[in-house]
Copies of this chain bind each other. A is one copy, B any other.
Amino acid sequence: MIVILKKHPDQEKLRALLGGIEALGLKTNYSEGTETTIIGLIGDTTRVDVDAVRANDIVEDVRRVSEPYKKANRRFHPDDSIISVGGVKVGEGFFNVIAGPCSIESEEQLTSIAQEVKRSGATMLRGGAFKPRTSPYSFQGLENEGLRLLLRAREKTGLPIVTEIMSETQLEEFREVDLIQVGARNMQNFRLLKALGTCGKPILLKRGLSSTIEEFLMSAEYIMAGGNDQVILCERGIRTFETAVRNTLDISVVPLIKRLSHLPVIIDPSHAAGIAWMVEPLARTAVAAGADGLMIEVHNNPKAALCDGAQSLTPLQFDGLMRQMRSRVSFEGKQFP
Indicate if A266 sits at the interface (CB-CB under 8 A): no
Among B54, B214, B259, contact of A310 (Cβ-Cβ < 8 Å): B54
Which residue on chain B has the smallest CB distance to residue A250? B248
> B210–A241 contact, CB under 8 A?
yes
Which residue on chain B has the smallest CB distance to residue A69? B135
Q: Which of A38-46, A118-126, A148-156 contacts B (4 or more CB under 8 A)?
A: A38-46
Q: Which residues of B contact A218 (CB under 8 A)?
A: 134-136
User: How far in angstroms is the closest Cβ of chain B from A165?
Assistant: 10
Indicate if A167 sits at the interface (CB-CB under 8 A): yes
Q: Which of A55-63, A73-81, A85-93 contacts B (4 or more CB under 8 A)?
A: A55-63
Q: Which residues of B contact A308 (CB under 8 A)?
A: 51-52
CA–CA, A158 and B49, complex, Å: 32
> A310–B55 contact, CB under 8 A?
yes
Residues of A contacting B: mostly: mixed
Indicate if A287 sits at the interface (CB-CB under 8 A): yes
> B278–A51 contact, CB under 8 A?
no
Q: Which residues of B contact A191 (CB under 8 A)?
A: 166-167, 169
CA–CA, A322 and B102, complex, Å: 40
Question: How many chain copies?
Answer: 4
User: How far in angstroms is the closest Cβ of chain B from A181?
Assistant: 15
CA–CA, A254 and B248, complex, Å: 12
Q: What 1/0 flags go to A289-305 for Cβ under 8 Å of B?
A: 11000000000001111
Q: Which of A28-36, A109-117, A172-180 contacts B (4 or more CB under 8 A)?
A: A28-36
CA–CA, A215 and B31, complex, Å: 32
Q: Which residues of B contact A188 (CB under 8 A)?
A: 132, 134, 185
Which residue on chain B has the smallest CB distance to residue A138? B49
CA–CA, A277 and B255, complex, Å: 9
CA–CA, A240 and B306, complex, Å: 30
Instruction: Assess A309 versus B42: contact at CB under 8 Å? Given A29-B35, A213-B242, A252-B245.
Output: no
Q: Which residues of B contact A290 (CB under 8 A)?
A: 281, 284
User: How far in angstroms is the closest Cβ of chain B from A186?
Assistant: 6
Among B52, B61, B65, B312, contact of A61 (Cβ-Cβ < 8 Å): B65
User: How far in angstroms is the closest Cβ of chain B from A158?
Assistant: 30
B-facing residues in A137-159 (Cβ within 8 Å): 137-139
Indicate if A4 sits at the interface (CB-CB under 8 A): yes
Among B166, B248, B287, B288, contact of A240 (Cβ-Cβ < 8 Å): B248
Known: A54-B310, A167-B189, A254-B281. 19 other contacts (CB 8 A): A29-B34, A35-B42, A36-B42, A52-B310, A55-B276, A55-B310, A135-B221, A136-B218, A166-B191, A167-B191, A185-B188, A240-B248, A240-B250, A245-B252, A251-B251, A252-B273, A259-B277, A285-B285, A288-B328
